[in-house]
Amino acid sequence: MVMAFCTVVFLPFAILSCQKRINKANSTGTDTTAIVPPNDPAFGPSVGFFGNDWAAKTFVPPPYTLTAKTALSTDANITVDMSNVITKVSKYLFGNNTNMWTGQMSNQASLIGYLKDLSPNVLRGPGGSASDLYFWNADFQHLPSDVTATLYDGNGNPVSTDSTNYWYGQNTPSWSLALTDYYTSLQLTNTSTGLITVNYAYARYGTGPTPVQTAAHLAADWVRYDNGRTKFWEVGNECYGTWEACYMIDTTKNQDGQPAIITGDLYGRQFKVFYDSMKVAAQQVGATIYIGAPILDYAPASWETPTTQTWNQGVLNQVATVADFFIIHDYFTAYNTNSSATDILNSATSVPVAAMTYVNSQFTQYGVPVKPVALSEWNIQAIGSMQDVSDLAGIHAVVALGELIKNQFGEASRWDIANGWNNGNDQGMFNIGDEPGAVKWNPRPAFYNMFYFQKYFGDRMVSSTVLGDTSILSYASSFSSGQSSIVVINESTTVKTVGISLKNFRAGTNYYWYTLESGSGDFSGVVSINGNGSTGATGGPLNYAGIKANAAAQNGGITISAPARSVTFVVADTQ
């Protein structure tokens, strides 16, 4: 044993010199030479009020099994600086989406249990495009008398409709998610709030004398009915898109002179009518709500419609000082493409920064003060190789969450809880009941990855850098209780040994880790956790909440073996 002695003199430089000699004598591979206290920046304006409900997190060591460290030399080395806080972590980045065809959720005990464990903190409803065909207070097939009988498809062709083409909040059969069931599910899963998209398209296709005012009144009535349960509201869904009910209307049925094709300017002017009506309603019930407007997070291509080309300009010029936040949607990978594993993983790192950079450039261009940004729909949209239901989609989700935190998004909701098998092109986090060989509500690999991310990522992101193998990514954080948390992603197809050094950190006794490892192939439908595999043909181990962590002593340094295509969640204890 090497002994170190020093005389403490009441001079700062002497104390520092003493500390250096002690640390040199008792090296643990973790640098605590001169502990620099962390900065603690306020949330940036792109997070804004989504950070109001931030809360400190305390790490409680899980049950663990002492495990021998790998003795191999490292392929990559991660350095974490605990004094360099990038941002606090918004709790609303872990959200998900409901939809009407999920069916009634509150009486599905297994699904509710999984969602409670997942703790999304916000659930968006009643859906995406379907929200513009949704009447929250109507019974099944009982529409307002001024609802159009003609809608248009994405190619501009008229489609005759009847009451079966719409969705109803008061519809209670098991195949449709009733509004009361949505609210009940929020309570049962301890989800703190909803994110509701009101029916803006009714302002376009309504055939009454004042369709905008009528639709805004319907939205305001929902705010009154909600009575403060929901903080965040959206007016419409992707109305710049030809696929939306708000995009094109039959002008022969319209009574207030609206054009056939929507523009960003028109939407912006009508948004203000909704905003005023909904804010008055909120004031009447004593609630504070925030209302957002959708914009694009990319520069439109030359072939896209004039509506898309000018959408942001029109919306931002109209609602720059009105909208509380702005909404974007992004499905990361190329549309309708059999994307490779490399393309999918690369999109997780490239899209969030590109999206936020573009949105901020639009704010600057149109003189808009930076407002909070919500990514209320996100996922991958690769098809053809079961990418959506694979563990690679789970790895993508982990990297995307790390990038969303780093780029200071305020809110994010993954699409969606459950959808439809569609030969494996299913963006649902859970099997809705049509996946061959899987039990209903069986969690897909993305569930496990997002569960462990939120549970073992702290309340502040801190800086981390990787030297060596470029297939290794890392995202680091601190808990308010002092521990350091590091997410290590191995995007390669071979095992890597990774070393971790912690600066400005007082190392404790142990570090703990969970490794989530893909099955064979690029798009395996299974994931194992610390060697515990799935009990079924797809998904992961259903005893995930009780699996013991691996643990080793911090003395001698922190090293892990990162299997091919894996995510490892590491937490280092502190003194």
Encoded amino acid at 336, one letter: N
Structure tokens at 1: 């044993």
**For the residues of 371-399, what is the DSSP string, one character each?**
--EEEEEE---B-SSS-TTSHHHHHHHHH
Q: Is the link from the previous residue into 416 a cis peptide, with omega within 30 of 0? A: yes
Which pLDDT value is given to residue 401?
98
Using only C-alpha atoms, the chain has a radius of gyration, in whole angstroms, of 25
Percent of the chain with pLDDT over 90: 93
Contacts of 458 (CB under 8 A, 6+ apart): 57, 59, 89, 477, 478, 479, 480, 483, 484, 485
CB 253 within 8 A of CB 148: yes
DSSP class of 274: H
Which pLDDT value is given to residue 416?
98
Given CA atoms 122, 394, 425, 338 in this order, what sign does their dihedral have?
A: positive
Q: What is the pLDDT of residues 362-399, one digit of tens each?
A: 999 999 999 999 999 999 999 999 999 999 999 999 99
Q: What is the pLDDT of residues 198-241, one digit of tens each?
A: 999 999 999 999 999 999 999 999 999 999 999 999 999 999 99
Q: Residue 252 and residue 271: Cα distance in Å, rounded?
A: 23
Contacts of 71 (CB under 8 A, 6+ apart): none
Q: What angle do CA 459, 464, 469 make, to 5 degrees?
A: 135
pLDDT for residue 28 is more than 90 = no
CB 191 within 8 A of CB 115: yes
Q: What is the pLDDT of residues 395-404, one digit of tens each?
A: 999 999 999 9
Q: Residue 246 and residue 241: Cα distance in Å, rounded?
A: 9
Mean pLDDT over residues 538-559, rounded?
97
Q: Residue 268 and residue 314: Cα distance in Å, rounded?
A: 7
- Residue 489, CA distances (Å) to 220, 372, 443 in order: 45, 29, 21
Q: What is the mean pLDDT of the chain?
A: 94
Q: What is the pLDDT of residues 147-157, one digit of tens each?
A: 999 999 999 99
Given CA atoms 520, 514, 381, 418 in this order, what sign does their dihedral have?
A: positive
CA torsion 319→250→301→312, rounded to 10°? 0
Which pLDDT value is given to residue 91?
98
Q: What is the pLDDT of residues 4-26, one digit of tens each?
A: 323 233 233 232 333 333 333 33
Which pLDDT value is given to residue 460?
98
pLDDT for residue 1 is more than 80 = no
Q: What is the pLDDT of residues 31-58, one digit of tens each?
A: 546 899 999 999 999 999 999 999 999 9
Q: Residue 286 and residue 224: Cα distance in Å, rounded?
A: 10
Q: Is the link from the previous residue into 158 a cis peptide, with omega within 30 of 0? A: no
Nearest Cα residue to 331 out of 306, 348, 307, 315? 348
Which pLDDT value is given to residue 12?
31
Q: Residue 120 and residue 406: Cα distance in Å, rounded?
A: 19
Q: Residue 245 and residue 151: Cα distance in Å, rounded?
A: 7
Mean pLDDT over residues 555-565, rounded?
97
Which pLDDT value is given to residue 30?
52
- Residue 272, CA distances (Å) to 133, 243, 294, 384 in order: 21, 24, 13, 42
DSSP class of 44: P
Which pLDDT value is given to residue 33?
65
Q: What is the pLDDT of residues 279-320, one digit of tens each?
A: 999 999 999 999 999 999 999 999 999 999 999 999 999 999
* CATH placement of domain 12-44+53-89+458-574: 2.60.40.1180
Q: Residue 505 and residue 83: Cα distance in Å, rounded?
A: 8
Q: How many helices (H) and strands (E) does the chain have?
A: 10, 23
Structure tokens at 403: 């990038």
Encoded amino acid at 326, one letter: F
| More confident site: 16 or 137 | 137
Q: Residue 548 class from Cβ within 10 Å (0-12 exposed, 13-18 middle, 19+ buried)?
A: middle
Q: Residue 375 and residue 315: Cα distance in Å, rounded?
A: 17
Which pLDDT value is given to residue 469?
97
Structure tokens at 406: 């780093």
Nearest Cα residue to 543 out of 554, 533, 553? 533
User: Residue ranges of the domains in the chain?
Assistant: 12-44+53-89+458-574, 90-98+123-323
Q: How confident is the model at residue 160 (pLDDT cuts 50, 70, 90)?
A: confident
| CB environment 80-105: b (16+ within 10 A), e (fewer) | bbbbbbbbbbbbbbbbbbbbbbbbbb
Q: What angle do CA 230, 372, 365 make, to 5 degrees?
A: 140
CA torsion 172→177→183→189, rounded to 10°? 130
CB 142 within 8 A of CB 174: no
Across 390-506, where does the E strand assignment appear?
411-414, 460-468, 472-478, 484-490, 496-503
